[in-house]
Structure 1
Amino acid sequence: MLHILYFVHDLADPAVRRRVLMLQAGGARVTLAGFRRDDNALAAIHGVKPIELGRTRDAQFAQRIAAVAKSALQLRRLLRSVDKPDVVIGRNLEMLAVAKRAKSIFGGDMPVVYECLDIHRLLLRKDVFGGALRGLERHFGTDAALLLTSSPAFVEHYFRSRSGLDLPIVLLENKVLALEGGDAGIAVTPRLPSNGEPWKIGWFGALRCRKSLELLADFSRRMGGRFEIVLRGRPAYSEFSDFDGVVRDAPFMRFDGPYKNPEDLAAIYGEVQFSWAIDFFEEGLNSSWLLPNRLYEGGLHGAVPIAVDGTETARFLTSRKIGLTLKEADPTHLAELLGNMNEERYLAAVNALAAQDRRQWMTDHTDCQALVQRLASLTRTSGQTAELQALPQLHRNRGGLQ
């Protein structure tokens, strides 16, 4: 059984739980180690007791670097009870550095994999600091055996053009982990509001975008109760001046707390007609390039996705002739897009979703096994040429990724 040592930046991140479950479903044994930013019982993984490297805080880059440096000094002691792994994965740049340190502790030629699912804005700065950070990424990542990333736009706009890394790449989209019978029982069915009830827009997942919060609050006020905004997930309070206050003062917005992914997805998406698949957190950069979890979650569960023009998410939807695209990111244009929503328009949008291949939204056992097999192949081969690769069983977002 392949033994993977997985270093993560936030043990409380539900996406970490999903990746560990995916690796386990593919047949790997996973040792999880990382930092904790807060407590989140919903991110716990049955049978996995993580190795905690310390505490970090959102939006505190200097504190995170100090915590990583401290953990590197203590890593030999922290890993003393861990069997030598076959593969080491570092999720995000700082954890890649820790992964490289772990490799030196264990010795040998075990492959290190760089998992990068967001391009941090600091990496994209054009000043000396940004150049230095990219230099660190090249230093730690140059001899990595593989790069895992989640959007073709990350490859196009960063890894191939700016990063200086020349690695084999696996495109691993943020699909819904569907291990219990695949898509059996998940049907895309219309859910028209009952008489007098509002249309509902769900914004679920990592809530970190102040602009989205304010835009949706303003829009719902303008609509006078015709639309309700439902928020679920983990707010990044460091990114908001007063998240709770904005929600409290918005008459047609509510926050219903965290949820378990993937177990609760059907229930929470089944309550809404539309999914907010927009993120302005790093507008024009990472936010324009990513393909968010909520895109796949909403698509699978029949919530019509809303994207903003000029983003990778909008291109994804346009190429499939599904979803709704916002021309400009402001309440006025959102009101123009949704203000005349009626039964006919909504049913047409839902039917377009229902006609899609369900597998483009899901990761199943076959996909999990393919990922673990790809990681296992790293232990048997060396000197691979740097070419863009995608898992054969995973659907690609658009042509050109071979």
Structure 2
Amino acid sequence: MAQHNLEKQLNILEYALSSLWRHRLKSLSVLLVFGAVIFLLASFQMVTQALSDKAKQVLVHTPEITLQKMSAGRQEAIPLAYGDKLAGIFGIRRVVPRIWGYYFDEVRLANYTVMGLEVAEMPEGARLDTTLASGTMPGPGDDAQGWAVIGCSITNALDLAGRDTFSLFRPDLSLKPFVVRGEFSRDTDILTNDLIVMNLADARDLFGIPAGLVTDLCVYVANPTEIETIAKKISETLPGVRVLTRPQIQKTYQVVFGWRSGFGSICLLSALAAFVILAWDKASGLSPEERREIAILKVLGWETSDILAVRFWESVIVSGLACIVGMTAAYIHVVYCAAALFRPVLMGWSVLRPDLHLLPRLAVGDILLILAFTVIPYLAATVIPAWRSATVPADSALGG
């Protein structure tokens, strides 16, 4: 009995393949449109996952806790003296001041991220050299000023090919010169693409920040498992300070990428809905030739369930091929084309966008999610109308 059912299904599958070949132009058009819809949805899913993984990877060595002073919901400069108040909290390795901000280049209409810090004061400062493609960071005892380490896009924006000096305007419109000491690797482009790192004193001079004030304080802890406990103690010691932990920053990146991807996916769902409606319309509106074909099959002894099985296998074959084509194209688009179609949506407002080399990690859950949004609605849109068409009386179809 089981062998008979298997042979029957194989015969139905063979007939479904021959039916698709007879209507190959129609099948190919549906396959291409369906594959395009899957390509768009899978690309968004892959880009989001790759960006989240990339952000998590490069944020591993960020400070465990960051302190910022808030006033009326806006960030303002924080006094260096706040760091002395944290001396009594057990578990803090070091408090490192930092100045950072955005520098607007009116010529190129681009924002640069400027960060001033004392590299030698950072617990992992010596490891920053591993993020550089060329040059070195200043080491302990190096009090040189006027240096800068820049991101890849800064080199192109400032046209530094063949030279290692550039100047930026202070608030009073006087020029402050810098010497390029190194360039960040492209592996960290998601954070360093538009970044200029310099000495803390140089950043204070560039932005005109008074002595004794910095943008924020970076707190490094001895035991990463105690981050939340120490952050709570800091909040109690400095009530007017916003305390940001590394896990919160990582979660923020994931939320931002997820929100943008979700927004794009919702927009694409309208295209998917239109495709499903089209498939439903085509499946329910049979041509006279298709009606005669169903009538002949019934005269030959085919049952309604057999005709439904043919439609089901046709839909499975088309949707399966569309998934293979769509996901393969999405992988090529993300890996080899750097998600060129969706970068303006996912990479934000910056003019200097990083040239990311993304490697998507598509989990089983992501594949099932894509199938749930595409294949299942398509099967419903073709098999259910097929049941209505299979109930057409043979004599009426032949007579038409």
Instruction: State the TM-score, normalized to the length of structure 1.
Output: 0.24
Higher helix proportion (structure 1 or 2): 2
Q: Which has the larger radius of gyration?
A: 2
More contact order relative to length (CA 8 Å, sep ≥ 6): 2
